[in-house]
């Protein structure tokens, strides 16, 4: 079984590689410089040489605020390129696992979003990711799309690393307290993806749309609090900065975020024996690794 992971240098890409090395799969996880997914012919060539049996698209344009002024590139990476991958998968008759986001929703809900709920993205990032989902769905029937949220890990750029960096310089931090979601450890998501790869390998037809995120709802302020409590417990910081709760409108950014983007994962996964992971446990491991 040959597994191709695109976006090998991202948080998810790196967590997938950490786990793939302990499997029997033959795998490759090229970074952007080795496989640019916006290059249609590069994808075709890569497929011809490596001949994957399944593709996991972990590549994306994830700079949410930058996307507002860089719409064309965001669309190319998040919408057009997944179409190229789906097209090559269709030609090779192999499945594609594609990752999407909670930002496809507008965040006005008060209960967790189900996969069947109406999408209504409020940002360029969210809109381009939604079009990416739709292109994959219409190009390739053998697809799995997993929407996730608030991804953190020991790799790349994420909220955990930003908080720990800021703590070094700022005794007081203002953190948004009126946006709610579920942090997701990229390693837990990688475990779920590889579990699905294994099920596909053994003939299960899991095609469709799923939600996967960590298990406890929190705000960015609550997440920051958990990060600093854990960092202090592990002796990584001497003092916890004073955390001031602010509202979304007190922290102006280019892209509008969903106020509430909790994903209902239970229904979509209950038939596939996927457990929703405790992000606080993962946070302990991630801070230890950082
Ligand atoms: N991060 C989050 O909070 C979050 C939340 C919800 C959903 N998601 C989704 O989860 C998935 C994984 O996200 P992540 O956090 O692992 O993102 P990430 O750390 O930003 O990684 C994305 C990777 O994609 C690569 N990439 C960008 N353009 C590319 C191209 N044209 N060709 C090949 N690779 C390209 C980037 O390369 P460089 O390293 O060269 O920049 C980067 O390594 C994405 O689909 C994302 O939309 C993420």
* Contact by Cβ (8 Å): 115, 85: no
Interval between CA 14 and ligand 1 midpoint (Å): 11
Q: How many structural domains are present in the chain?
A: 1
Q: Quick one: tokens of 64? A: 């949410």
In a domain, 177, yes or no: no
In a domain, 30, yes or no: yes
Q: Whats the size of the chain, residue-wise?
A: 290
Confidence of residue 267 (pLDDT cuts 50, 70, 90): low
CATH of the domain at 266: 3.40.50.720
Q: Whose CA is nearest to atom 18 of ligand 1?
A: 10
Range of the domain at 91: 2-158+183-215+262-277
Confidence of residue 27 (pLDDT cuts 50, 70, 90): very high
H helices present in 214-278, as ranges: 220-233, 266-269
> Tokens 């789906």 sit at which residue?
86
Confidence of residue 130 (pLDDT cuts 50, 70, 90): very high
Summarize the confidence of residues 174-183 as an average pLDDT: 96
CA distance linking residue 123 with residue 176, whole number of Å: 18
Ligand 1, residues at Cβ distance < 6 Å = 6-7, 9-13, 31-32, 36-38, 58-62, 77, 81, 99, 101-102, 129, 148-151, 156, 186
In which region does residue 166 sit, left (phi positive, over 0), alpha (psi from -120 to 50) or beta (all else)?
Answer: alpha
- Work out which ligand 1 atom sits closest to the CA atom of 159: 3
In a domain, 228, yes or no: no
- pLDDT tens-place string over residues 190-234: 999 999 999 999 999 999 999 999 999 999 999 999 999 999 999
Best of 5, 6, 8, 10 for a ligand 1 pocket test (most atoms within 8 Å of beta carbon): 10
Confidence of residue 270 (pLDDT cuts 50, 70, 90): low
Interval between CA 156 and ligand 1 midpoint (Å): 9
């Amino acid at each position: 079984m040959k597994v191709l992971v695109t976006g090998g240098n991202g948080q998810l890409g790196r967590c997938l590689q950490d786990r793939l090395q302990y499997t029997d799969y033959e795998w490759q996880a090229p970074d952007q410089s080795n496989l640019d997914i916006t290059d249609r012919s590069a994808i075709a060539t890569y497929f011809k040489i490596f001949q994957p049996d399944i593709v996991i698209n972990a590549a994306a344009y994830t700079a949410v605020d930058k996307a507002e002024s860089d719409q064309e590139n965001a669309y190319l990476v998040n919408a057009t390129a997944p179409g190229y991958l789906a097209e090559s998968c269709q030609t090779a008759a192999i499945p594609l696992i594609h990752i999407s986001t909670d930002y496809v929703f507008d965040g006005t809900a008060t209960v967790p979003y189900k996969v069947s709920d109406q999408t209504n993205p409020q940002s360029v990032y969210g809109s381009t990711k939604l079009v990416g989902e739709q292109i994959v769905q219409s190009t390739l029937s053998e697809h799995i799309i997993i929407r996730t949220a608030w991804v953190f890990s020991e790799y790349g750029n994420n909220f955990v690393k930003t908080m720990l960096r800021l703590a070094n310089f700022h005794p007081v931090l203002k953190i948004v307290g009126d946006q709610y979601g579920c942090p997701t450890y990229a390693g837990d998501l990688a475990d779920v993806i590889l579990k699905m790869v294994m099920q596909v390998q053994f003939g299960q037809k899991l095609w469709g749309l799923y939600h996967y995120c960590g298990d406890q709802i929190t705000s960015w302020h609550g997440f920051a609090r958990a990060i600093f409590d854990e960092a202090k417990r592990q002796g990584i910081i001497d003092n916890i900065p004073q955390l001031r709760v602010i509202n979304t409108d007190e922290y102006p950014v280019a892209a509008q975020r969903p106020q509430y983007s909790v994903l209902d994962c239970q229904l979509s996964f209950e038939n596939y024996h996927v457990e929703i992971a405790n992000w606080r446990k993962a946070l302990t491991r991630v801070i230890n690794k950082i």
